[in-house]
Amino acid sequence: MTKSGSTTVVSRASGSPRSPRRSSRRTPASSPPTTETTSLVIDPASAHVKSHLDHFLFTGIFIGLALRTGTQVDLPFARPVWTVLAGGVCDLSLADLAATDAALAASLQWLLDTDLSSPDGRAAADGLVFAVDVETPAGLVSAPLVKGGETRPVTEANKAKYVAMLIRFKLVDGRREQFAAIIRGLDRMMPRRRLLLQSFSPEDLSLVVCGQPDIDLADWRANTIYVNFSVDSPQVQNFWSIVEEATSAERRAILRFVTGLARPPLTGFASLPGASGVQRFQIRRAWTSESHHPVAHTCLNALDVPMYASREQFKQKLFGAIGYASSGFHIS
User: What's the CA gap between 189 and 312, in Å, rounded?
Assistant: 47
Q: Where are the alpha helices (DSSP H) in 39-93?
A: 52-69, 79-85
User: What's the CA gap between 188 and 190, in Å, rounded?
Assistant: 6
Note whether 41 and 58 are within 8 A (CB).
Answer: no
**Three-class DSSP category at 233:** coil
Say how many C-beta atoms besides its own lie within 10 A of residue 72's C-beta. 22
Q: Which residues contact 157 (CB under 8 A, 6 or more apart)?
A: none
How is residue 153 annotated by DSSP?
Answer: B
Reply yes or no on whether 210 is catalytic.
no
**Three-class DSSP category at 141:** strand
Length of the chain measured in residues: 332
Query: Quick one: CA dihedral 69, 73, 79, 82, positive or negative?
Result: negative
> Phi/psi at 113 (nearest 5 deg)?
-85, -10
Q: How many CA atoms lie within 13 A of 22 on its CB side?
A: 15
Q: Please state whether beta strands 131-136 and 281-285 pair in parallel, antiparallel, or not at all (unpaired).
A: unpaired
Three-state secondary structure of 310-331:
CHHHHHHHHHHHHHHHHCCCCC
Q: Which of 95, 141, 278, 299 is labelled catalytic?
A: 299
The catalytic residue positions are: 299
